[in-house]
Amino acid sequence: MILDGHVPAGPLEQKWDRHRNQLALVNPANKRKYHVIVVGTGLAGASAAATLAELGYQVSAFCFHDSPRRAHSIAAQGGINAAKNYQNDGDSVWRLFYDTIKGGDFRSREANVYRLAQVSVNIIDQCVAQGVPFAREYGGLLANRSFGGAQVSRTFYARGQTGQQLLLGAYSAMCRQIGLGQIKMYPRTEMLDLVVVEGHAKGIITRNLVTGEIQRHAADAVVLATGGYGNVFYLSTNAVNSNVTATYRAYKRGAFFANPCFTQIHPTCIPVTGEHQSKLTLMSESLRNDGRVWVPKKKGDSRPPEQIPEEERDYFLERMYPSYGNLAPRDIASRAAKRVCDEGRGVGPGGLGVYLDFSDAIRRLGIDVVRERYGNLFDMYREITDEDPYKVPMRIYPAVHYTMGGLWVDYNLMSNLPGLFVIGEANFSDHGANRLGASALMQGLADGYFILPYTIGDYFARSRRSRPDPDQPEFREAEERTLRGIERLLAINGKHPVDVFHRELGKLLWDNCGMSRSEASLRHALEEIPKIRERFWREARVTGGPEGINQALERAGRVADFLEFAELLCLDALERKESCGGHFREEFQTEDGEAKRDDENFCHVAAWEYRGENERPLRHVEPLRFEFVDLTTRSYK
Amino acid sequence: MRLTLRIWRQKDANSPGGFVTYVKDHVVPDMSFLEMLDALNREIVERGEEPVAFESDCREGICGSCSLVINGIPHGPGRGKASCQLYMRHFRDGDTITVEPFRAKPFPVLRDLIVDRSAFDRIMQAGGFISVNTGGAPEANTIPVPKQDQEMAMDAAACIGCGACVAACKNASAMLFVAAKVSHLGLLPQGQPERYRRVRNMVAQMDQEGFGGCTNTFECEAVCPKQISVRFIARLNRDYFRATLLEP
Amino acid sequence: MTWFRALFRSTVGLKWLMGTSGLVLSGFVVVHMFGNLQIYLGPDAINAYAESLRKMPLLLWAARIVLLAAFLLHVLSAVRITQLNRAARPTPYELWSPQVTTYAARTMFMGGVILAGFIVYHLAHFTFGLTHPDHFKLHDAKGRHDVYAMVVLGFRQPLVSLSYLLAMVPLLLHLQHGVSSFFQTFGLNHPRYNRIIRALGPIVSLIVFLGNCSIPLAVLAGLIPYPVVGK
């Protein structure tokens, strides 16, 4: 099937405005009759829930954390992009659009990305009004910093805690609406199924994580803002509880999953220290503003870094990408690091690491400026590694960080299932095959504050459906299916905790579908995943019962979904016979090892349709049309 | 390393709890405290028992989920870090470590080491916001904010809402948490219109939740993972006085 | 009085009431101590001081009423806030290792209870003359109430002196935490002045402690003579 993204016609810069003028409206008195379910309370979910409630809709918001403020958006460090051009360095909506679409290796929709760049400026206004303490100059105006993949300074930041501050802003807006009774908040509640009535998404099934009670919730529309699936790799920079369950179960109910193979590997993470490790810690990309990345020129050089003279160091990013240098985009920088490590020039235990060196910056700026800019990151690094980055260079290595793929949505952020909206990292829409730094926060908030609140009204006004009764057979069936799933997990009579299988899956994926992939490695992974899954269902042990707090059960359900989803990820990677952005197929590379796109055959979105257990999913295609930019080869040289 | 762990186990909010002693071998200094607990839990599950329930998510000290009292100190020994940022290199072979949940009436234990901190959310709902609807905001650079005010607001806004301040205080007072929020918004020009209303409402909710009063012991500041200063409590006291006695 | 009710109902307001009354009381304690130290100047000085206070009954009674009100308010808010604080942690920790909480801060309530008891005794001794009526009836050569004699004769009894000396320990601790606490409660906290503010409690409390303790000790050591010879 050829999918239609419903991109409006007209000149690029007028598409969103024109579209907004044509969207059907719901009058204020009628808004309160509509009930919206928002799952997830990160930047996208919280901003959407708050804004929908402000408009007058009745909102039910769900999160599995104890409080909406704990969503993983909180961990974003670096910043948020906006085309304000406060620095007078030539930035514009067009440039932000172009950097983003080029950064994504031309695998996203022009119209979506342009709209994102347009509303970026409103986001900053909104956040400042909410009291987000963005960094400022002495004159009191907003400060900016540079970020990877751009040659202008357009990133707004609040120390190294930008995500936290933006989330607290959205959370506070949400708190206000909860206080006013416009939002009913369900913390410690996990969505376990989507309910589809006559082809429309009309509700969810949840488990109360404190009591274990399974509940049905009916609404006029369901918004998924449940984040990405990076934890399919087990070790990633995601929070340990981040999972694919909500989006994967929606996929199983008929929503298409788009471009699952587009996963982002972040170049600056603290390297793995041992088997015990539960997650990887990101060191903000902003560090690359002042830190210089290098490895020894000589293979297997085991001297401590300070004893390696300048001429024997290879500042490989500056060498390979002179115009962007250490600020090359994430996918490029990660692959370059992998390449030098594969050559045997990696540093630290196991040779899986490169130096990120601040000694030049400390000489140039003084230790106090460096401490002011990056102090909290340096402290974090020291605590984890027991090394002082003011004295010895940091060691970093790429790690899974973000997933560009997600549920397929059209220009209105609605999936192929009418009434199911997907926003933030959970959808696939704006970052193509690679996301630029400081763009995730921008997209989450753009979707939640400025796009979904418009487009959801259009759905209500046009579909004119009544809200179903949660006692309808569709709800009862979904509930029974959920209960059966829980029983099945509790009945596995093995011995090992589920983490064992999760870690095994993660390693398999990292080795075969990580920073580089090949047909052989992907076929190998596709063979192995079902075996791990089969062993999971035989040898795992899920202790406790269905009632009360049972973290073993929560994890088991998520791992079971990862074990299925991983197959989809590898299948998509196998079918996309080109290299682009974060998806690097060894068979498709230029002579100097850069990604080689195939615009002829793969300038499209791949959206997968679930067809049942043990059935191969169906690959649908949404062609990407580039009317306003040329498909160039990405070059950061 | 070999450690003896005395861990609080409690089936649910209504059951009595008690300490259970576990011996954990093969602890390496590079493990975080929570990774050590993960490893312990794996062993517990292999034995067919239920693992120790504890909360964590980001494991990099920003989400505020983790909430352990380790050897009598919320978030354990060492300044300025959450439980998830504590590494085993701070312990010695043969140590006995006592692990308890945060204890306060407004933070009831839900299971083992998990407590319910929704009281904090309710305090936020009472006034921890600036009432602006999406869309109506003026251009971001319209109001300059002095850098020192913004920096100080950021110092307060860094609060991760973990509740260690409550756990550490001999009175289980939530003043540092409330003061951080009141100060963050009260220091910015955008927060002025609701400044006094906010402090009144948030303090009222704090009291209603059953938190104790501040007696200036400053224990909260000592255990705060973000090292939020008690200076903000003084600020809250000032704002509260003004709100009660001078503002209509 | 709605503002009073509002203050009394909130934990922050209670601290204000506590702090304000505490400020009055500790101000009195300091002034009282300097008044007492006049005993070193001989009977004439201190008896004249006592007489001058008696000659201003309006001021004296106003001060007494203010002090009594402050005392009652201090006790009342202390009882209330302690109730609230104890209720806020029904299950104690098995192991609690405070990092910075001082012994003084931890014992404010119990110290306060001891001090209240001491104040009753102290008033009975020197203000109402109930414990040693014979010392209370003395007059000096000028016909004034002989405070000097009363103090010296009282403190010559080791048990009386000991009770005064012991009571100065909770007072030391109470002021140590209390005096620095006013500033925080009244919202005065600034990095530039915090060192002074935080030192003030220990300094004031130590001065009061040493000043007050010196009198019974000096009496016992025979440094303050009675009857005064060679006059």
Q: Are B71 and C97 in contact (CB under 8 A)?
A: yes
Give the closest of C11, C91, C108 to B207, CB-based: C11
The DSSP element (H or E) to which A161 belongs, if any, is: none
ipTM for the assembly: 0.98
CB contact under 8 A, C98 and B170: yes
Residues 6+ apart with CB under 8 A from A500: A540, B42
Domain boundary among A401, A420, A436: A401
Q: What is the tally of structural domains in chain C?
A: 1
Q: Exposed, middle or buried: residue B71 (CB in 10 Å: 0-12, 13-18, 19+)?
A: middle
- Chain B CB contacts of C183 below 8 Å: 234
Q: How far is CA A186 from CA A190, A245, A470, A471, in A?
A: 9, 17, 17, 20
Q: What CATH number is associated with residue C147? A: 1.20.1300.10
DSSP state of A451: I
pLDDT digits (tens, 9 = 90+) for B230-239: 999 999 999 9
| B3-111 and B117-245, same CATH topology | no
Give the closest of C81, C88, C97 to B105, CB-based: C88
Nearest CA in chain B to A126: B137
Active site residue A292: no
Overall average pLDDT of the A543-568 stretch: 98
Q: How far is CA A283 from CA A237, A255, A345, in A?
A: 10, 35, 21
Overall average pLDDT of the A537-562 stretch: 97
* C227 belongs to a structural domain: no
pLDDT of residue A5: 96
Nearest CA in chain B to A141: B144
Distance of residue B155 Cα from the nearest chain C Cα, in angstroms: 14
DSSP state of A341: I
Coil/strand/helix, residue A192: strand
A–C contact: 3+ Cβ pairs < 8 A:
no
pLDDT band with cut points at 50, 70 and 90 for residue A592? confident
Q: Where are the beta strands (DSSP E) in A420-478?
A: 420-422
Q: What's the token pair of residue A567?
A: 């197959």
* A204 belongs to a structural domain: no
CB contact under 8 A, C87 and B235: no
Average pLDDT, chain B: 97
pLDDT of residue C229: 61
Q: Which residue type occupies A111?
A: A
* C45 belongs to a structural domain: yes
pLDDT for residue C231 is more than 60:
no
* A281 belongs to a structural domain: yes
Lowest mean pLDDT among A88-92, B164-168, B174-178, C5-9: C5-9
Please give the angle made by the CA atoms of A502, A505 and A510, to the nearest 5 degrees.
125
Alpha carbon distance A508, C196 (integer Å): 62
Question: Could you list the residue range(s) of the whole structural domain that residue A561 is in?
Answer: 487-602
Query: For chain A, how many residues are written?
Result: 637
pLDDT digits (tens, 9 = 90+) for C72-96: 999 999 999 999 999 999 999 999 9
* C65 belongs to a structural domain: yes
Q: Are B134 and A449 in contact (CB under 8 A)?
A: yes
Q: What CATH number is associated with residue A535? A: 1.20.58.100
Overall average pLDDT of the A363-387 stretch: 89
* C97 belongs to a structural domain: no
- Chain A CB contacts of B129 below 8 Å: 130, 172-173, 175-176
Domain boundary among A368, A401, A434: A401
Q: Give the percent of chain A with pLDDT over 90.
A: 89
pLDDT for residue A376 is more than 60:
yes
Distance of residue C106 Cα from the nearest chain B Cα, in angstroms: 8
pLDDT for residue A155 is more than 90:
yes
pLDDT for residue C228 is more than 90:
no
pLDDT digits (tens, 9 = 90+) for A44-84: 999 999 999 999 999 999 999 999 999 999 999 889 999 99
Give the closest of B35, B130, B132 to A276, CB-based: B35
Q: At what angle do helices B118-125 and B175-186 cross, to 10 degrees?
A: 30
Q: Are C145 and C54 in contact (CB under 8 A)?
A: yes
Closest CA to A218 of A465, A472, A473, A469: A469
Sequence-ordered alpha helix ranges (H) in A236-291: 245-252
pLDDT for residue B42 is more than 80:
yes
Q: Which residue has the tokens 């933070």?
A: B107
pLDDT digits (tens, 9 = 90+) for A445-466: 999 999 999 999 999 999 988 8
State the count of interchain CB pairs (< 8 A) between A and B.
219
Overall average pLDDT of the C133-150 stretch: 91
Q: Which chains touch B (3 or more CB pairs under 8 A)?
A: A, C
The DSSP element (H or E) to which A293 belongs, if any, is: strand A292-296
* Residue A203 β-bridge partners: A195, A218
- Chain B CB contacts of A178 below 8 Å: 121, 125
Coil/strand/helix, residue A315: coil
Rg for chain B, CA atoms, rounded: 20
Overall average pLDDT of the A233-254 stretch: 98
Q: Are A463 and A419 in contact (CB under 8 A)?
A: yes
Lowest mean pLDDT among A373-382, A483-492, A513-522, C100-109: A373-382
Is it true that domain B117-245 has CATH number 1.10.1060.10? yes
Average pLDDT, chain A: 95
**Domain ranges for chain B:** 3-111, 117-245
**What secondary structure does DSSP assign to chain C, as a single string?**
-HHHHHHHHSHHHHHHHHHHHHHHHHHHHHHHHHHHGGGGG-HHHHHHHHHHHHT-HHHHHHHHHHHHHHHHHHHHHHHHHHHHHHHT-SSPPSS---SS--HHHHTHHHHHHHHHHHHHHHIIIIIS--S-HHHHT-B-TTS-B-HHHHHHHHHTSHHHHHHHHHHHHHHHHHHHHHHHHHHHHTT---TTTHHHHHHHHHHHHHHHHHHHHHHHHHHHTT-S-SSPP--
Give the closest of B100, B217, B241 to C101, CB-based: B217
* C231 belongs to a structural domain: no
* A104 belongs to a structural domain: no
- Number of Cβ within a 10 Å radius of residue A161: 25
* C100 belongs to a structural domain: no
Q: Catalytic pick from A107, A292, A313, A330?
A: A330
Rg for chain C, CA atoms, rounded: 20
* A608 belongs to a structural domain: no
pLDDT band with cut points at 50, 70 and 90 for residue C226? confident
* A496 belongs to a structural domain: yes
Q: Give the percent of chain C with pLDDT over 70.
A: 98
* A536 belongs to a structural domain: yes
pLDDT for residue A398 is more than 80:
yes
* Residue A193 β-bridge partners: A205
B44, B63, B195, best to mutate vs chain A, most A CBs in 10 Å: B63
pLDDT band with cut points at 50, 70 and 90 for residue A625? very high
Q: Where are the beta strands (DSSP E) in A140-199?
A: 155-156, 183-186, 189-197
Give the closest of B172, B173, B234 to C184, CB-based: B234
The CATH architecture one would assign to domain B3-111 is Roll (3.10)
CB contact under 8 A, B35 and A68: no
Nearest CA in chain B to A493: B48
Closest CA to A330 of A377, A398, A270: A398
Give the closest of B117, B158, B185 to A161, CB-based: B158
- Chain C CB contacts of B230 below 8 Å: 184, 189
* A468 belongs to a structural domain: no
* A99 belongs to a structural domain: no
pLDDT digits (tens, 9 = 90+) for A161-206: 999 999 999 999 999 999 999 999 999 999 999 999 999 999 999 9
Q: Are A263 and A405 in contact (CB under 8 A)?
A: yes
Average pLDDT, chain C: 94
Distance of residue C152 Cα from the nearest chain B Cα, in angstroms: 39
- Chain A CB contacts of B128 below 8 Å: 172, 175
Longest dimension (CA), chain C: 67
Nearest CA in chain C to B216: C181
- Chain A CB contacts of B160 below 8 Å: 74, 164
pLDDT of residue A146: 87
Q: What is the tally of structural domains in chain A?
A: 2
Alpha carbon distance A273, A280 (integer Å): 9
Q: At what angle do helices B231-245 and C2-9 cross, to 10 degrees?
A: 150
Q: Give the percent of chain B with pLDDT over 90.
A: 97
- Chain B CB contacts of A499 below 8 Å: 38, 42
Q: What CATH number is associated with residue A275? A: 3.90.700.10
pLDDT digits (tens, 9 = 90+) for B107-140: 999 999 999 999 999 999 999 999 999 998 999 9
Alpha carbon distance B25, A99 (integer Å): 52
Query: For chain B, how many residues are written?
Result: 248
pLDDT digits (tens, 9 = 90+) for B60-71: 999 999 999 999
Q: Are A258 and A408 in contact (CB under 8 A)?
A: yes
